[in-house]
């Protein structure tokens, strides 16, 4: 009887091991191997990281046998390179970087990256900020003025240079100041500069901080100027900083913006891309609970997304009746 008892214990132990092996991280509930995806974001202090974490949770929750991990990175340029090398499967990439990476321009000169767009998310409108008493009422009035154009090598500096260039203004025409958002705000407060260009989601804390102590105005672009910018740099989209976004700035401003794109490695399986896009767009309220900026993510603004869509994303949006150029 003792021998029988020992064999029963051994049998139970072996069965328990078999059960555990069937629930490992390598398999989904169906017993099929789980798909593990890496979602490249940016630094933990920005918008990309928490928003990417929220997307990762939604995809993991609603796409069977799929586990997604959001990872902190150096941001858009690094993310494009990670996708190209297959070291990330999904990533946030700013529209201008997406365009340059796909076409082998800018930081990717003659080195096109193998990436595809899944969808556009929120946008970062270009703020042209000055003080109410400054004789600056159009972008052309920036000539001869001290203008903050962003930190050296920053995304804002790239966008400021492109915007001005499209409108026939070079750094030779202004006294450019390479300042961060907070530095530009302080410089305007102290009257050390005349204006600042900031490519940042609205409302921007630097603009709110400035408007709390000084009377501020936002400079609008004309429809013709917006068309010129979009024609020369296709990653820009028409945008509006609406009245009320800044409590103490009474007028809205017409401008351009750069969309933030969720991109994928070009060889991501079509069904996987389709499932990822479907999970996000059918559970947007859950994403909005993670970060307010997710309220800007809609089917109507998801495409076009600067570069060609991944076939899986294209399939989903066509099913929803969307058309685009």
Concatenating the DSSP letter of every residue in 247-262 gives: TT--S-EEEEEEEEEE
Shared domain for 226 and 210, answered yes or no, is yes
* pLDDT recorded at residue 3: 53
Instruction: Among 258, 273, 303, identify where a domain stops.
Output: 258
Q: What is the pLDDT of residues 98-121, one digit of tens each?
A: 999 999 998 899 999 999 999 999
Asked if pLDDT for residue 6 goes beyond 90, the answer is no
Q: Which of 229, 258, 287 is the last residue of a domain?
A: 258
* Whether pLDDT at 15 is above 70: no
Cα within 13 Å of Cα(229), Cβ side: 27
Q: Is residue 13 situated within a structural domain?
A: no
Looking at the structure, tell me whether residues 169 and 200 fall in a common domain: yes
86: left (phi over 0), alpha (psi -120 to 50) or beta: left
Query: Is residue 18 in a domain?
Result: no
pLDDT given at position 12:
52
User: Tokens in use for 235?
Assistant: 């990653």
Task: Name which of 4-8, 144-148, 230-234 the model is least confident about.
Answer: 4-8
Q: Does 84 score more than 50 pLDDT?
A: yes
- The residue ranking higher by pLDDT, 16 or 135, is 135
Residue 134 has pLDDT above 80, yes or no: yes
Does 141 lie in the same domain as 254? Answer: yes
Range with top average pLDDT, 26-35, 187-196, 202-211, 288-297: 187-196
On the CB side of 174, how many CA atoms lie within 13 Å of its CA? 26
pLDDT (mean) for 131-145: 97
178-229 residue pLDDT tens: 998 889 999 999 999 999 999 888 888 889 999 999 999 999 999 999 999 9
What is the mean pLDDT of the segment spanning 248-270? 95
Tell whether 276 is covered by a domain.
Answer: yes
Residue 26, Cβ density class (10 Å: 0-12 exposed, 13-18 middle, ≥19 buried):
exposed
Domain's final residue, options 258, 284, 302? 258
Q: When comparing pLDDT for 3 and 249, which is higher?
A: 249
DSSP state letter for 142: G
Give the per-residue pLDDT at 77: 87
Q: What average pLDDT score do residues 52-72 get?
A: 97
Are 283 and 56 in contact by the 8 Å Cβ rule? The answer is: no
**227 and 129 fall within a common domain:** yes
Do 222 and 273 belong to one domain? no
Q: Looking at the 3D structure of the chain, how many domains does it have?
A: 2
Examine the domain organization and report whether 219 and 149 are in the same domain: yes
pLDDT at 8: 55
Predicted pLDDT of residue 64:
96
> Is 307 found in the same domain as 217?
no
Residue with token string 């700013």 = 94
Q: Is residue 19 part of a domain?
A: no
* Region of residue 199 (left: phi > 0; alpha: psi -120 to 50; beta: else): beta
pLDDT of residue 16 exceeding 60, the answer is: no
Average pLDDT over the chain reads 89
Task: Give residue 26's pLDDT band: very low, low, confident or very high (50, 70, 90).
Answer: very low
Judged against a pLDDT cut of 60, whether residue 9 lies above it is answered with no
Residue 150: inside a domain: yes
In a domain, 267, yes or no: yes
Q: With 90 as the cut, is the pLDDT of residue 151 above it?
A: no
Domain, as residue range, for 154 = 124-258
285 falls within a domain = yes
Same domain, yes or no: 61 and 145:
no
Other CB atoms within a 10 A radius of the CB of residue 170 amount to 11
20, two tokens: 């555990």
Examine the domain organization and report whether 104 and 147 are in the same domain: no
- Examine residue 16 and state whether it is found in any structural domain, yes or no: no
179 and 253: one domain?
yes
Task: Convert the pLDDT of each residue in 268-286 to its tens digit.
Answer: 999 999 999 999 999 999 9
Burial (CB count within 10 angstroms: exposed 0-12, middle 13-18, buried 19+), residue 197: buried
Place of tokens 């450019």: 176
- Tell me: do 221 and 163 sit in the same domain: yes
pLDDT at 31: 60
Residue entry with tokens 């079509």:
270
For residue 79, what is the domain's CATH number? 3.40.190.10
Tokens of 175: 């006294």
Distance of alpha carbon 203 from alpha carbon 219, whole angstroms = 15
- At 290 the pLDDT is 92
Q: Are residues 133 and 254 in the same domain?
A: yes
pLDDT band at 24 (very low <50, low <70, confident <90, very high): very low
């Amino acid at each position: 009887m003792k021998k029988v008892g020992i064999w029963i214990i051994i049998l139970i132990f072996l069965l328990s091991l078999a059960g555990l092996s069937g629930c490992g991280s390598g398999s989904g509930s169906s017993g099929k191997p789980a798909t593990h995806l890496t979602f490249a974001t940016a630094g933990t202090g920005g918008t990309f990281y928490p928003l990417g974490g929220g997307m990762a949770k939604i995809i993991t929750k609603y796409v069977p046998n799929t586990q997604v991990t959001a990872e902190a990175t150096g941001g858009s340029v690094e993310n494009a390179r990670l996708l190209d090398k297959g070291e990330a499967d999904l990533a946030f990439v700013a529209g201008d970087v997406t365009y340059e990476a796909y076409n082998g321009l800018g930081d990717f000169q003659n080195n096109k990256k193998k990436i595809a767009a899944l969808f556009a998310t929120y946008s970062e409108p270009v703020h042209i900020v000055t003080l109410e008493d400054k004789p600056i009422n159009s972008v052309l009035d920036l000539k001869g003025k001290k203008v903050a154009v962003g930190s050296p090598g920053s995304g804002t500096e790239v966008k400021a240079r492109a915007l001005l260039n499209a409108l026939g203004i070079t750094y030779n025409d202004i006294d450019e100041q390479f300042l961060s958002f907070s530095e530009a705000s302080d410089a305007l407060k102290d009257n050390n500069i005349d204006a600042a260009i900031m490519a940042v989601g609205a409302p921007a804390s630097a603009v709110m901080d400035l408007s709390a102590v000084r009377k501020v105005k936002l400079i609008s672009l004309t429809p013709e100027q917006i068309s010129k910018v979009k024609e020369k740099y296709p990653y820009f989209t028409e945008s509006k900083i609406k009245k009320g976004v800044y409590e103490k700035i009474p007028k809205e401003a017409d401008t351009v913006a750069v969309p933030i794109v969720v991109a994928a490695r070009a060889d991501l399986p079509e069904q996987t891309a389709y499932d990822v896009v479907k999970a996000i767009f059918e559970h947007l309220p859950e994403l909005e609970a993670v970060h307010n900026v997710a309220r800007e993510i809609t089917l109507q603004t998801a495409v076009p997304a600067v570069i060609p869509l991944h076939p899986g994303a294209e399939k989903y949006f066509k099913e929803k009746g969307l058309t685009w150029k």
